[in-house]
Amino acid sequence: MLSGVIEFRIDRHSGVSTYLQIAAQVKQAMRMGLLGPGDKLPTAREVVEATRVNPNTVLKAYRELEHEGLVEGRRGMGTFVTASLATDATKADAPLRQDLDRWMDRAVDEGLSADEVDAIYTDVRGTHY
Amino acid sequence: MNASPVRAENLAKHFGRTKALDGCSFELPEGSVTALVGPNGAGKSTLLSLVAGLAKPTRGEITVHGTAVRGRMHPDVSLLTQKRPLYDQFTVRELMRAGAAMNDRWSAERADEVLDLLAGVDKDAKVRTLSAGARTQVAIALALGRLPKVLLLDEPLSDLDPLARDETLRIVMTDVAERGTTVLLSSHLLTDLGDVCDHLLLLDEGRVQVAGEIEEILGDHGVVVGPAGLDLDTDGTVVDSSHTSRQTTALVRGGSAPEGFQSEHPDLEALVMGYLRASRTRRLARR
């Protein structure tokens, strides 16, 4: 299915309201280049079937994204992405990303846990940013 | 027409000297999903049967999309009662045929669609052989076959396992997404309500305590925590408070956080629990 581009994961214990989680996940997908201008977001009905949320919540998230100028609702057709958040640096085939991918491979080979990897990443990021 | 799907005005229902409902007013916005909560005996089931037209109010009036409900089932309203009365000896197919015969407006297609959702219900099975989840799905198929604009659900999840609960809510939410149905559902399962309801109607002792959009209501309340002995000095209303030897915790409506207290907004569960605790305290104090 064409509309099956992204699937929302709702964390019911995060304390972050559901509509903000949905909006954030659309933006994340846009940043990663998974969603770009012209792509259609899943309909409220599709999201409800997949994740059991209130369709009004989905529409609220889409309205929020529309307000930010990222998507556009077209009557009777659905909601479409109108902007691009992807930069060359965040795309899947970007060199920096591939470097990190290779680095992560080594970490797995050397038996590091995800927590250890996160700790290293956070620490290194902290010294640069 | 912009008449509200459900509007209750100064609604009262007395059974002898017992006031099940007394001066109850509220309005449900179109396409909203409202959680009806309150302690046992708060009047939730009474309210649902009044909206459905199964009982007549002692005082006050209910209108559905602008027309008054007067002691008979309103054609735009479907009610799924707690007991889910179904004919056990019928097969599912026969039960659907009965649904068609008993309702002026009936969509066999819609009923079939609901039966086929998820794992699907065997239409040749006798109703009594069905699991609790499948029975609920059959009852919902009967309710949605009427193509209601307003769907009332009385404790729809109470005897279901987690999977059947999830699937039941999915069916209901799908109807909201497709047809813009207005839903009012009573439940004690607050964690299940959190992400399916956008409005809240909190009843206690026959009256509306809190009504409105959940996000706004939560934003208007604070759970404040401070050291014991410090005065809870706030311009808001203290709904409920509890004390330990070191700490005071309170649910406060409106106003700013009292001096010396830390405040954060409650989630739906914490909010409802606060009101239920306060209600019990009031009732105990009267004894």
State the pLDDT confidence band at B255, using cuts at 50, 70 and 90.
confident
- Under an 8 A CB cutoff, do B177 and A48 touch? yes
Calculate ∠ Cα B30-B31-B35, nearest 5°: 100
User: Which residue's structure tokens are 């000297």?
Assistant: B17
Minimal-distance CA residue of chain B relative to A44: B177
**ipTM surpassing 0.85:** no
Would you list the DSSP string of A20-68? HHHHHHHHHHHHTTSS-TTPBPPPHHHHHHHH---HHHHHHHHHHHHHT
- Under an 8 A CB cutoff, do B166 and A52 touch? yes
Q: Residue A105's pLDDT is what?
A: 94
Q: For residues B31 and B28, what is the distance between their CA atoms, to the nearest angstrom? A: 9
Q: For residues B271-280, b (16+ Cβ closer than 10 Å) or e, as one string? A: bbebbbbbbe
Chain A window 101-120: which residues touch B at a Cβ cutoff of 8 Å?
none
**From the CA of A18, how many Å to the nearest CA of chain B?**
7
pLDDT, mean of residues B82-96: 84
Residues of A in contact with B166 (CB under 8 A): 52
DSSP state of A4: T
Q: For residues A48 and B187, what is the distance between their CA atoms, to the nearest angstrom? A: 20
Interface mutation target, options B170, B171, B173, B190, chain A, most CBs of A under 10 Å? B173
Q: For residues B142 and B267, what is the distance between their CA atoms, to the nearest angstrom? A: 34
- Under an 8 A CB cutoff, do B33 and A54 touch? yes
Interface check for A18 against chain B (CB to CB < 8 A): the answer is: yes
Q: Residue B165's pLDDT is what?
A: 85
Would you list the DSSP string of B189-218? -HHHHTTT-SEEEEEETTEEEEEEEHHHHH
| CATH fold of the domain at A18-81 | Arc Repressor Mutant, subunit A (1.10.10)
Residues of A in contact with B195 (CB under 8 A): 10, 12, 18, 52-54, 57
pLDDT, mean of residues B111-139: 86
The answer to whether residue A2 scores a pLDDT higher than 60 is no
Cα separations in angstroms, B156 against A65, A73, B41? 34, 34, 17
Would you list the DSSP string of B91-126? BHHHHHHHHHHH-SS--HHHHHHHHHSTT---TTSB
- Under an 8 A CB cutoff, do A54 and B176 touch? yes
Q: Residue B2's pLDDT is what?
A: 58
Alpha helices, H only, chain B: 44-52, 92-102, 108-116, 132-145, 162-179, 190-193, 214-219, 268-286
Residue span(s) of chain B under CATH 3.40.50.300 come to: 6-214
| Sequence-separated (6 or more) residues with CB below 8 Å from residue A121 | none
- Under an 8 A CB cutoff, do A53 and B178 touch? no
Q: Taking the mean position of all CA atoms in its chain, how far away is CA A67?
A: 18
> Taking Cα atoms as reference points, which of B63, B8, B54, B65 lies closest to residue B31?
B65
Domain ranges, ordered by start, for chain A: 18-81, 95-128
> With DSSP H G I counted as helix, E B as strand and the rest as coil, what are the percentages for chain B, rounded to 5?
30, 30, 35
**From the CA of A62, how many Å to the nearest CA of chain B?**
14
State the pLDDT confidence band at B84, using cuts at 50, 70 and 90.
confident
Q: Taking the mean position of all CA atoms in its chain, how far away is CA B209?
A: 14
The answer to whether residue A1 scores a pLDDT higher than 60 is no
- Under an 8 A CB cutoff, do A45 and B197 touch? no
pLDDT, mean of residues B44-55: 90
**From the CA of A52, how many Å to the nearest CA of chain B?**
5
Q: Taking the mean position of all CA atoms in its chain, how far away is CA B45?
A: 9
- Under an 8 A CB cutoff, do A52 and B170 touch? yes
Cβ neighbours around B27 below 10 Å, total: 16
- Under an 8 A CB cutoff, do B194 and A12 touch? yes
Q: Residue A4's pLDDT is what?
A: 58
Residues of B in contact with A54 (CB under 8 A): 33, 173, 176, 195-198
Chain A window 32-71: which residues touch B at a Cβ cutoff of 8 Å?
43-45, 48-49, 52-57
- Under an 8 A CB cutoff, do B197 and A55 touch? no
Q: For residues B174 and B70, what is the distance between their CA atoms, to the nearest angstrom? A: 30
The answer to whether residue B159 scores a pLDDT higher than 50 is yes
User: Which residue's structure tokens are 């008054």?
Assistant: B68
Q: Residue B271's pLDDT is what?
A: 92
Calculate ∠ Cα B82-B86-B92, nearest 5°: 130
**From the CA of B16, how many Å to the nearest CA of chain A?**
40
Q: For residues B151 and B61, what is the distance between their CA atoms, to the nearest angstrom? A: 19
Q: Residue A102's pLDDT is what?
A: 93
B6-214 domain in CATH 3.40.50.300? yes
Is the CB of residue B224 less than 8 Å from the CB of residue B271?
Answer: no
The pLDDT tens digits of the residues spanning A38-93 come to 999 999 988 988 888 899 999 999 999 999 999 999 988 889 999 888 777 777 77
- Higher-pLDDT residue of B26, A33: B26
